[in-house]
């Protein structure tokens, strides 16, 4: 395992600037998630680190070694793709053992066997080691694909939306497992996704990417609680952050230049009150979380309903801001 440092990376495909001046350091043993929409430059970053693409300019260091011009095979990275790519004619065991059997590794068969069984247990596929890989469910295949990356001990694991092809339940299960395995192995991992829940729940630090640029890097709590811009604030949180004109609600203390106020559930105080400034439109019962849809003049807000407060559609409520986020006309955070 090792530190990975990216300095001033630029990459262009034709007219598209896929990456612009990207700087990022990933510490040894750290789980970093790049979060952004399709086309933001996430996958390009992974491919540059792996050596599948060459940067137009900039520098890539793995374990303090400049690898920018090295071939992929010399970089000591393991890549997990979105679609599981297993050898269909091999058993689960042989799929997992394959990366270890490469002649350059010179591992004894006892050592290979030990590692395969250890990883199979971690990704919970040890009961199917003798199955052909084609006789597995989608979730099992993806666990084998992740396991096959994990049997090696590369400088860094690169994962490109490895859970996106799985159903919701399995995805939730594997999120927790992947995070545990990464901590257990102490591995360095760079993971890209467009799913904010994956980023929030697994990352030690999240990097928010858009249009080839890295907008902010920080722990999930920092990014959620202390976003640098409107764009970043809107990437995290369910329901979405409410964006309001500065003078819509009382309780704010906007610094000069404030154009927009960002208010999440924790920035809104609600009191049921007949002479109030707002009205409850409807309540979206999602079971564990109920969303309150509120109308304030011409604006609509969505907030999580407090389970201890009885509110019905049509109720008048008074809505007050408590330490919300302030943004200027360009969307930068103020104060």
Partner 1 sequence: MADIRIENLRKQFGSFVAVQDSTFHVQDGEFLALLGPSGCGKTTTLRMIAGLELPTSGKIHLANEDVTFNRASARDIAFVFQLFALYPHMNVRKNIGFPLLSQGMPKREIRQRVEETARLLQIDHILDRSVSGLAGGDRQRVALGRAIVRRPKCFLMDEPLGTLDAEFREVMVHELRELHNRIHATTVYVTHDQHEAMAMADKIAVMNHGVIEQFGTPQEIYSKPASMYVADFIGSPPMNFMRFTSGLRTGARSISLQGVDVSVPEVHQDLAEAELALGIRPEHIRFSDASPLRGAVYGSEYLGTNQVVAIETSSGVIKARVPANRNFRIGETVGLEFNPAKLALFECKSGRAIASALYSEA
Q: Tell me how far, at minimum, the Cβ of 40 lies from partner 1, in Å.
A: 12
Neighbours of 287 (CB within 10 A): 5
CA distance 201 to 293: 26
Note if the bond before 245 is cis, omega within 30 degrees.
no
Between 100 and 200, name the residue whose CB sits nearer to partner 1: 200
DSSP 197-256: HHHHHH-SEEEEEETTEEEEEE-HHHHHHS-SBHHHHHHS-SSPPEEEETTSSTT--PPT
Nearer to partner 1, 256 or 287 (CB): 287
Q: Are the CB atoms for 10 and 57 separated by under 8 Å? A: yes
Q: Which residues bind partner 1 (CB under 8 A)?
A: 37-38, 167-169, 172, 175-176, 179-180, 183, 194-197, 200-201, 220-221, 224, 236-238, 240, 264-266, 282, 284-289, 304, 307
Tokens 């709590």, located at residue: 221
Q: Are 303 and 203 in contact (CB under 8 A)?
A: no
Question: Could you tell me the smallest distance in angstroms from the CB atom of residue 195 to partner 1?
Answer: 6
Q: Check: CB of residue 273 under 8 Å from CB of residue 286.
A: no
Minimum distance between the CB of residue 240 and partner 1, rounded to whole angstroms?
A: 8
Q: 283 or 296, CB closer to partner 1?
A: 283
Least Å from the CB of residue 113 to partner 1: 28
Considering the complex, state which of residue 73 and residue 197 has its C-beta at the smaller distance from partner 1.
197
Look up tokens 């080839």; give the residue: 212
CB of 262 to partner 1, least distance (A): 13
Least distance to partner 1, CB of residue 53, Å: 24
**CB 318 within 8 Å of CB 261:** no
Distance of closest approach, residue 253 Cβ to partner 1, in angstroms = 22
- In the sheet where 213-218 sits, what is the strand order? 77-80, 156-160, 189-193, 31-35, 205-210, 213-218
Q: What is the dihedral of CA 147, 151, 157, 159, to 10 degrees?
A: -20
Residue 100: which of 87, 86, 111, 89 has the closest Cα? 111
The residue among 106 and 169 lying less far from partner 1, judged by its C-beta, is: 169
Q: Between 194 and 279, whose beta carbon lies closer to partner 1? A: 194
Of the pair 37, 250, the CB lying nearest partner 1 is at 37
Q: Which residue's CB is nearer to partner 1, number 94 or number 266?
A: 266
What distances in angstroms separate CA 257 from CA 250, 253, 254, one per listed residue? 17, 12, 8
Give the shortest CB-167-to-partner 1 separation in angstroms: 8
């Amino acid at each position: 395992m090792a530190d990975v440092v990216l300095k001033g990376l630029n990459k262009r495909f034709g007219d598209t600037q896929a990456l612009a001046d990207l700087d990022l350091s990933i510490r040894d043993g750290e789980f970093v998630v790049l979060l952004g929409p399709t086309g933001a430059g996430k996958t390009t970053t992974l491919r540059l680190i792996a050596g599948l693409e060459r940067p137009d300019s900039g520098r890539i260091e793995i374990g303090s070694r400049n690898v920018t011009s090295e071939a992929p095979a010399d970089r000591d990275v393991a890549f997990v793709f979105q679609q599981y790519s297993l050898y269909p004619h091999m058993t689960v065991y042989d799929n997992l053992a394959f990366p270890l059997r490469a002649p350059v590794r010179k591992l004894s068969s006892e050592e290979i066997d030990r590692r395969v069984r250890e990883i199979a247990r971690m990704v919970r596929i040890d009961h199917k080691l003798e199955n052909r890989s084609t006789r597995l469910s989608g979730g099992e295949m993806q666990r084998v694909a992740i396991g096959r990356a994990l049997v090696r001990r590369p400088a860094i694991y690169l994962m490109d939306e490895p859970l996106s092809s799985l159903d919701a339940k399995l995805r939730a299960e594997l999120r927790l497992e992947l995070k545990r395995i990464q901590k257990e192995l102490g591995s360095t991992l760079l993971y890209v996704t467009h799913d904010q829940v994956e980023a929030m729940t697994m990352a030690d630090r999240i990097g928010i990417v858009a249009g080839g640029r890295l907008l902010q890097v920080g722990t999930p709590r920092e990014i959620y609680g202390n976003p640098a811009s409107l764009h970043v604030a809107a990437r995290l949180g369910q329901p979405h952050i409410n964006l309001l004109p500065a003078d819509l609600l009382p309780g704010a203390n906007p610094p000069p230049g404030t154009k927009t106020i960002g208010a999440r559930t924790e920035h809104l105080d609600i009191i049921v009150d007949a002479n109030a400034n707002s009205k409850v439109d409807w309540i979206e019962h999602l079971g564990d979380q109920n969303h309150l849809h509120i109308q304030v003049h011409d604006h609509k807000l969505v907030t999580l309903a407090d389970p201890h407060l009885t509110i019905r559609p049509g109720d008048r409520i008074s809505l007050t801001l408590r330490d919300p986020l302030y943004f200027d006309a360009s969307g930068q955070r103020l104060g």
